Amino acid sequence: MMFPVRGDWQGVERAKAICATCPVIEQCLEFISRNPERYGIWAGIAGKEITEERKRREIIPNKAKHGSRAKYTAGCRCEHCTEANADYKRKTRNTFAAF
């Protein structure tokens, strides 16, 4: 994984070139396809390419509904899914605060 500066397209291309020669690219791709990271170059892909890879691997639940944390985790950032994720975080924060 690499984190070029936003808008540095040459940095992105360099990061992707380095990833192409990495001996653990498949493990990195497996990790990123199962973990919704929003930033950086992972296994030579970034942003929407990661979402497409997750779809290709069928990691994104096809039956997840809009307005759910599952859909948010799958990559949807619509208003309803974002709110569902925020609700989940508030609830879990309150649960663990009791300990």
Tell which residue, 97, 95, 75, 94, has the closest CA to residue 85. 75
Other beta carbons within 10 angstroms of residue 2's beta carbon come to 15
Confidence of residue 18 (pLDDT cuts 50, 70, 90): very high
CA distance 61 to 54: 10
81 residue type, one letter: C
CA distance 54 to 50: 6
Cα-atom radius of gyration of the chain, to the nearest Å?
16
Tens-place pLDDT, residues 30-86? 888 888 777 888 899 988 888 888 877 766 555 677 888 888 887 888 899 999 999
Rounded to an integer, the average pLDDT of 10-37 is 88
- Cα→Cα distances 21→25, 26, 48, 79, 96, Å: 8, 11, 22, 38, 42
Domain ranges of the chain: 9-56, 63-99
- Asked if the model's pLDDT at residue 88 lies above 90, the reply is no
- Asked if the model's pLDDT at residue 98 lies above 60, the reply is no
